[in-house]
Structure 1
Amino acid sequence: MIRSELLKKLVDENPELKIEEVEKILDLFFNQITQQLAEDGRVELRGFGAFSTRERASRKGRNPRTGEAVDVPSKRVPYFKPGKEMRERLNND
């Protein structure tokens, strides 16, 4: 599901809200998650999962075009850990 599909589904399920209001809510939701992660925080949505960041160490990489060795700097990357309820629903055979 992409953002526009999510937006349409929310509008369809909440006819009392205008599309602009739902867009503002979605923007606020995603911006708050992004801001919290940028501040090295964690966001937990019970039953769904937790967003956090992980540190990747610097390393030697290779330019795929030339094969030349390049330095890849350390960086933080987003990480998602699914919650118990989500894992159970995905693996319910």
Structure 2
Amino acid sequence: MDKTELISAVADKVGLSKKQVREVINEILSQIAKQLVLGQKVKLVGFGTFSKQYRAARDGRNPRTGERLIIPERHVVVFSPGSDLKQQVQEPMQQASQSQEDADNKQDDKKE
């Protein structure tokens, strides 16, 4: 899903125009970015936490030539998923595992 698809999905769900939803999403993203620039964490309870981390300069290699190079220091954005999001992502796998177990049990019952 890209940003345009997200805007359409939210607009359909909440009954707002795509323009209104686009403005809201853009403002949310802008506020998250502003807080990260200021060094603040952005915690969305149940969803996750955005934070800025420092990465020190380090040695690296050009994968094509093997030439050594220095990767400069920088800040990176890190996202840590919240417990609710982790659970939602795992549910389809748990359901699939349960469905497979049920299918295996049915096959075993037929053999007996």
TM-score (norm 2): 0.75
* One-letter amino acid of the counterpart of residue 32, structure 1: Q
Q: Deviations over 1:34-65 (max 9, x none)?
A: 11111111101111011101211110111222
Bigger strand fraction: 1
| CA deviation profile, 1:50-90 (whole Å, cap 9, x unmatched) | 11012111101112222211111111111111111112222
Which consecutive unaligned segments of at least 5 residues does structure 2 have? 95-112
Amino-acid identity (%) = 36
State TM-score, norm by structure 1: 0.89
Aligned residue pairs: how many? Answer: 92
* 2:43 alignment counterpart: 44
Q: Given residue 44 of structure 1, which amino acid in structure 2 is its aligned partner?
A: K
Runs (5+) with no aligned partner, structure 1: none
Q: Which has the higher helix share?
A: 2
Which has the bigger relative contact order, CA under 8 A and spacing at least 6? 1
- Which residue does 1:12 correspond to in 2? 12
Instruction: Compare CA radii of gyration and give the structure with the larger one.
Output: 2
Question: Secondary structure of the equivalent of 1:50?
Answer: strand
